[in-house]
Amino acid sequence: MTAICGGAGARLLRIIALAAMTVIFLALAETSLAFAAEVDAVGANAPHGFEEVIERVRPAVVGIRVKTEQRGQEVARGQPLPPGSFLDRFFRQFGMQIPTDPAPGSDLTVGAGFLVSGDGYIVTNEHVVASGIEIEVTMDDGKIYPAEIIGSDPQTDLALIRTSAPGDLPYVRLAAKEPRIGEWVLPIGNPFGLGGTVSAGIVSARGRDIGEEPYNDFIQIDAPVNKGNSGGPTFNVRGEVIGVNTAIYSPSGGSVGVAFDIPADVVGLVLRQLREKGHVTRGWVGVRLQEVTPGIADALSLKKAQGALVAQLDEGPAAKQGVEVGDVITFVDDQEMRNPRDFARTVAAIVPGTVINLRLLRNEREIAIEMTVAELPRAAKIEQEEQPDAGERSALGVTLAPARSVSGAGDAGMVILDIKPDSAAAVGGLQVGDIVLSFGKRPIGAATDLNKMVNEARTQGKRTVLLRIKRAGVMSFVAVSIG
């Protein structure tokens, strides 16, 4: 009986084991099928290639050759840039050499552009065509046609030209939405004059400031862009232009995979005005602004380092309507101003003659001022100030001399002749040659004035003071620690 029971028990165990294995097998099979389905879904959404979109948009991209008045220029950030231009400042800021290596004996520059209408209008960079005396565009089929400049805007480095090519030409559209960081993009251009060349990469950043020009917030793309791509478009995978290639980061002169594009929304605004009147009109209220740093925010008792600090007033609507130096602009109508670039771009886009409402902070109080936006005038050239050669030491570690004793320094303020290393002034960013005009809003006429004001601030428990200075003809504020 025991043997019989033992045999039955063994068979039962085998049945149970077989059932368990079956369950495990079915579970594994189900998991495997689910994983395979997930892999298929990912594969369906992953890019397999860009053939279709390239075939659709490439006919609208053109190569541009420009006969120039000066020999040896090369336009894709390799040519000599106008001194003081925002791109010139950008390259100098990063200590980069700008190569000049066109073909020997050549007086042609090369760039790219793209058609935005069937009747021959082409967008490119202003620096591509600015010095041209003769412009030719090469179509995707290799045919060459002359072109003429319709209008240009140096402040955004954009130009509109028109070709005489016959027929209804292929063209592309600007993207209506900003690209997302990480999105695939496809630059097409004319690198080294080779003709229509496609590369691929991603949007790596937005809102890049590569210089002091306030009207662009560049898109940074990580894709191969070389000399000769200037003015060419960068497409998204839907075939829309997200930006215009205008600069590359290039310590060596060749592509390192970092390029900067003018965003499509800026291109659209400029394009409409260039087509209508050949130039761009911008709004202006006559303020010169600077960032609100944490030190400045502390000196002004602001809750956060945000807004646009008024450093200087021109003869314009702001001065006439009661805006004062030292005010911090926080809103234009209902739009918050995080920094001076926000303000510059916002006001520039407003039609002159429009009434706006500025909200600003003054002595820790909020004030609202209405004013009518004027038209931005041409910028005047600023002369460098001469530096003095004698003076007396102040409490902040600077040697000062009255501005009236220094040729070209004017009558107001004190000129910095020397700065003690590691002093509060040196750490705060003051420089030899700066003219210290005021302590906050209190004018300074002697080193003893500054010492007295610093001591008063210390007795009041202040950790930071705000000095208004003049540097190379431009007014600004500098926060200096006195803690």
Q: Which residues are catalytic?
A: 127, 157, 230
Q: Which residue shows structure tokens 């102040």?
A: 394
CB 192 within 8 A of CB 229: no
Residue closest to 86 by CA, chosen among 219, 209, 211: 211
End-to-end CA distance of the chain: 99
Bridging pattern class, strands 241-248 and 233-235:
antiparallel
Residues 6+ apart with CB under 8 A from 239: 53, 56, 57, 172
Helices (H), 200-316: 264-277, 294-299
Report the distance separating Cα 409 and Cα 306, nearest Å: 32
Three-state secondary-structure class, residue 41: helix
CB 146 within 8 A of CB 136: yes
Structure tokens at 70: 């000066």
Q: Is 12 exposed, middle or buried (0-12, 13-18, 19+ CB in 10 A)?
A: exposed
Structure tokens at 86: 């925002």
Report the distance separating Cα 435 and Cα 269, nearest Å: 39
Q: Which residue shows structure tokens 């020997």?
A: 104
Residue closest to 187 by CA, chosen among 51, 61, 55: 61
Residue closest to 237 by CA, chosen among 39, 41, 48: 48
CB 261 within 8 A of CB 243: yes
Half-sphere exposure (Cβ direction) of 442: Cα atoms closer than 13 Å: 12
CB 391 within 8 A of CB 434: no
